[in-house]
Structure 1
Amino acid sequence: MKNLYTSLMYAARAHAQWEIETSRNIIKNRKKLLILFIMALPLLIPAMAHAASTLPSFVGGKAAFGPSFFSPTTFYGSIAVGVIAGLITGCIGAGGGFVITPALMSLGVKGILAVGTDMFHIFAKAIMGTTLHKKMGNVHIGLAVAFLVGSGLGVTGGGMINRALYNFNPVMSDFVISSIYVVLLGFLGIFALSEYLGMKKRSQKDSGDAHGGPEKMTALGAKLQSINLAPMIKFDQHVVPGGRKISGFFVAICGCVTGFLASILGVGGGFVTFPMFVYGLGISTGTTVGTDILQIIFTAGYGSIAQYAIYGYVFYTLAMGMLLGSLFGIQIGAITTKVVPGTQIKAFYALAILAGFVNRLFALPEKLTQMGYLTLSTSAAALITKIGVWLFFGLVSIFAFWIISTFIRNIPRLRAEAAEDYDVNMGKGGVSQ
């Protein structure tokens, strides 16, 4: 279990690094900023409609984008959710995306819309920032093609199940999505907390570094690579002389599982790609990271558009609000890591994940009551849900306030370090000339 958690965290950190670089590419490019401004123009309409607390039906309204209660709280809340997720991603280097869907559901957005909107937000960030990544030099075309074939099938299946559940019973749809998040966030939160306590006990502030990763092939990886099932794909020639071989059928199965979970949960899917590739198939970490970044772009794009947007399950205004908020949060978070001890970052990460776990756990009694499986008064069930919402937003708000205030207090120090680095780089440039 510990190895699985380590693998999940390594995958999350690789995804976080991609998000950080993507956001920087957007912010540093004037043309991309102009495109972003044009994409964000619809946000002006809900801002102007704030006083009336309503929106025209053609922009973010219930009739146009699906059955979700919309209010100024959900719109401005989406920006706050983007900021918080960005702060977690930038400061901790992992896990920001895990809190987005639970946070949107806490704002009153139906689970299926939260999933579709989160996937669309990931896709928008990917196409805005970059369509390729410098680490994609490690991508093997054969592995990528086989994986994406399976991913397409998985995304389609996940989208069909989510829509079928919602059409059958909207409450059951929310219950299923919340239950999956309870299991996922509970697992991650418990291990993150235990890692922080162990880290504090050992006083190893750098133990959470995202360098390295498991490279030794597991027994399962060796077994699967020994099975000659066409088509065979050769890879990792840069790791092992002569390379390794794996059946494309196994790669497609991994893609199918990743696409299915990504479509069900509204995340990129990298948290399962990494353990399956490294521990299951015996593929090197470098090749895995590159393939993961590639699959996120296609999985999020196909899933958000073909499985959710065309059926009315994407809140465009909320997706753009999250995108804008995350660009700000990621930059602040990444810069703040220079002045924040690693143990404190670990502690807040564990709290943020556990806050999402408690939030979805406390939402389950109300869903069970509404479906008739639990006997609670309407007011009691609603109160339990509200307590979960208050706990979640209270904890993540404390985290956000702490990060932003730490950043503001250390602006003089950060400026001095930036000026020093600039002088050093200029000096090196002068010498080289």
Structure 2
Amino acid sequence: MRNLYAGLMQAARAHAQWEIETSRVIIGNRKKLLILLIMFLPVLIPAIAHAGSTLPGFIGGKSSFGPSFFSPTTFYGSILVGLCAGLITGCIGAGGGFIITPALMSLGVKGIMAVGTDMFHIFAKAIMGTTVHKKLGNVHVGLAIAFLGGSFLGVTGGGILNRAIFNYNPVLSGFIISLVYVFMLGFLGFYAMSDFMRSRKTPQNAGDAHGGSSGLTPLARKLQSVNIPPMIKFDEELTPGGRKISGIFVAFCGGIVGFVAAIMGVGGGFLTFPMFVYGLGVSSFTTVGTDILQIIFTAGYGSITQYAIYGYVFYTLAMGMLVGSLLGIQIGALTTKVVPGIYIRGFYALAILAGFVNRLFDLPDKLRQMGYISMTPATTKLISQVGVVIFFALVGVFALWILSTFVRSIPKLRAEAVAAAPGGKGE
């Protein structure tokens, strides 16, 4: 279990680093900022005017095929959700995206639309950033092709299942999505908290140069010994003669990742890392680059073919999250220069546990609506609202702490920037 947690965290850190690089590319390019502004204005102006009940269909009115309802509250909330997720990603270097779908569901967005919107937001950020992946690791074409082949099948299956459950019973759809997040966030949150408590007493254990294990697991050795065509050769630059793995195993992993990504509305990278490193025996260096590449295609294919064309992408919220996250990531990344890492890990654990409590407290109301428990509507609604308050209170406190720390540290950060510039004191 500890290896699984370590793999999940390494994947989250790699994805966070990609998001930081992507946001820098977008913010540092005037043409991309202009494109973002052009895309954003048709959404922002009506929102500022508080015209939620009379918006035309092409922007997000009640009669539109895509977003089924729009209100300034949900739009402004999406900006704050993106900002908080960006602050967590930039400051901690891991896992801010885990809170997006639960946060959107707390704002009243149906689970399936929160999933589709989150995937679309990831894809929009990716195509605008066009980050050079060689900075993040080695992209292995063979592994990527095999993985994407399985991933597309998995995403298709997950999307079909998600839509079928929603069409059968929307409440059941929300219950299943919440339940998946309860297990995932509970596992990550409690392990992150225990890791934080241990790190207060003992220093972090060091891995290899890329943060992963240098040896093969028994499972990886066994799978690499199976000769089922097509065989893919990889890691030639790291291991004499390289290593080989059947493309069938790679595609199978891709199918699992794609299926889970389509159900949860994430890129799926948090599963790719432990599967590649511990299951297939791929080096963490090769895994990072290949994983980032698959996230772009998986999120793009899933958000468009499985959700957008069926009306399950809330474009106004996706734009709000994109703008909020771009700002939050930059502030969070700068804040890491002046904040001790031990406090960052503690807040991260609390943020993940807040998402866990949020979805856990929403389950009784879903069970009551489906007739499985006999509690009164007022009671289950109160439990759900308590979960929402706890979630936004903890995440909000974390976000305010990062923002206040950043504001107080502006003179110090500015002095460091001047000293590091050519001709500055750092010369």
TM interval, short-chain normalised: over 0.9
Change (3 A) 1:52 1:360: closer
Is contact 1:254–1:273 with CA below 8 Å preserved after alignment? yes
Q: Structure 1 residue 219 and structure 2 residue 218: aligned?
A: yes
Is contact 2:12–2:270 with CA below 8 Å preserved after alignment? yes
SS at match of 2:239: coil
Q: How big is each residue's C-alpha offset from its partner over 1:229-264, in whole Å with a ceiling of 9 and x where there is no partner?
A: 011111110111111110000000011011111111
Residue equivalent to 2:276: 277
| Per-residue deviation, 1:135 | 3.7
Q: Distance in 2 between matches of 1:369 and 1:160?
A: 26
Q: Distance in 2 between matches of 1:363 and 1:190?
A: 19
Change (3 A) 1:334 1:48: closer
- TM-score, length-scaled by structure 1: 0.95
Q: How big is each residue's C-alpha offset from its partner over 1:344-380, in whole Å with a ceiling of 9 and x where there is no partner?
A: 1011100000000000000000000000001111111
| Per-residue deviation, 1:423 | 4.3
Q: Distance in 1 between matches of 2:375 and 2:209?
A: 46
| Per-residue deviation, 1:425 | 7.4
Residue equivalent to 1:30: 30
Change (3 A) 1:10 1:124: same
Residue equivalent to 2:380: 381
Q: Distance in 2 between matches of 1:227 and 1:51?
A: 61
| Per-residue deviation, 1:46 | 3.2
| Per-residue deviation, 1:131 | 5.5
| Per-residue deviation, 1:208 | 11
Residue equivalent to 2:246: 247
Q: Distance in 1 between matches of 2:9 and 2:215?
A: 17
| Per-residue deviation, 1:27 | 0.5
| Aligned pairs for 1:267-346 within 5 A | 267-346=266-345
Residue equivalent to 2:417: 418
Residue equivalent to 1:153: 153
SS at match of 2:109: coil
Q: How big is each residue's C-alpha offset from its partner over 1:388-425, in whole Å with a ceiling of 9 and x where there is no partner?
A: 00110011110010000000011111111111111467
Q: Distance in 2 between matches of 1:420 and 1:180?
A: 48
Is contact 2:420–2:426 with CA below 8 Å preserved after alignment? no
Is contact 2:18–2:131 with CA below 8 Å preserved after alignment? no
Q: Distance in 2 between matches of 1:300 and 1:382?
A: 33
Is contact 2:101–2:114 with CA below 8 Å preserved after alignment? yes
Is contact 1:259–1:299 with CA below 8 Å preserved after alignment? yes
SS at match of 2:201: helix
Name the aligned partner's letter for residue 74 of structure 2. Answer: T
| Aligned pairs for 1:40-189 within 5 A | 40-50=40-50, 53-66=53-66, 68-130=68-130, 132-135=132-135, 138-189=138-189
Is contact 2:192–2:345 with CA below 8 Å preserved after alignment? yes
Q: Distance in 1 between matches of 2:326 and 2:59?
A: 23
Residue equivalent to 1:5: 5
| Per-residue deviation, 1:215 | 2.4
Residue equivalent to 2:403: 404
Structure 1, unpaired ranges of 5+: 429-433
Change (3 A) 1:224 1:208: closer
| Per-residue deviation, 1:43 | 1.5
Is contact 1:88–1:96 with CA below 8 Å preserved after alignment? yes
Residue equivalent to 2:199: 199
Change (3 A) 1:106 1:287: same
| Per-residue deviation, 1:58 | 2.1
| Per-residue deviation, 1:49 | 4.0
359-368 or 124-133: bigger deviation: 124-133
Change (3 A) 1:190 1:100: same
Change (3 A) 1:275 1:16: same
Is contact 1:68–1:110 with CA below 8 Å preserved after alignment? no
Change (3 A) 1:52 1:278: closer
40-49 or 73-82: bigger deviation: 40-49
Q: Distance in 2 between matches of 1:400 and 1:387?
A: 20
Q: How many residues align?
A: 427
Q: Distance in 2 between matches of 1:376 and 1:68?
A: 30
Change (3 A) 1:206 1:62: farther
| Per-residue deviation, 1:34 | 1.0
Is contact 2:46–2:55 with CA below 8 Å preserved after alignment? yes
Q: Distance in 2 between matches of 1:177 and 1:398?
A: 26
| Per-residue deviation, 1:41 | 2.2
- TM-score, length-scaled by structure 2: 0.96
Residue equivalent to 2:360: 361
Q: Structure 1 residue 15 and structure 2 residue 46: aligned?
A: no
Q: Determine what percentage of the aligned residue pairs are the same residue.
A: 72
| Per-residue deviation, 1:217 | 0.9
Change (3 A) 1:360 1:54: farther
| Per-residue deviation, 1:51 | 5.3
Q: How big is each residue's C-alpha offset from its partner over 1:213-236, in whole Å with a ceiling of 9 and x where there is no partner?
A: 122111100100000001111111
SS at match of 1:138: coil
Residue equivalent to 1:431: none
SS at match of 1:176: helix
Is contact 1:8–1:275 with CA below 8 Å preserved after alignment? yes
| Per-residue deviation, 1:42 | 2.2
| Per-residue deviation, 1:60 | 1.9
Q: How big is each residue's C-alpha offset from its partner over 1:184-218, in whole Å with a ceiling of 9 and x where there is no partner?
A: 0000000000010001122x389899952122111
Q: Distance in 1 between matches of 2:95 and 2:250?
A: 25
60-69 or 160-169: bigger deviation: 60-69
Is contact 2:60–2:68 with CA below 8 Å preserved after alignment? no
Change (3 A) 1:370 1:209: farther
Name the aligned partner's letter for residue 308 of structure 1. Answer: Y
Q: How big is each residue's C-alpha offset from its partner over 1:251-281, in whole Å with a ceiling of 9 and x where there is no partner?
A: 0001101111111100010000000000000
Is contact 2:82–2:321 with CA below 8 Å preserved after alignment? yes
Name the aligned partner's letter for residue 108 of structure 1. Answer: G
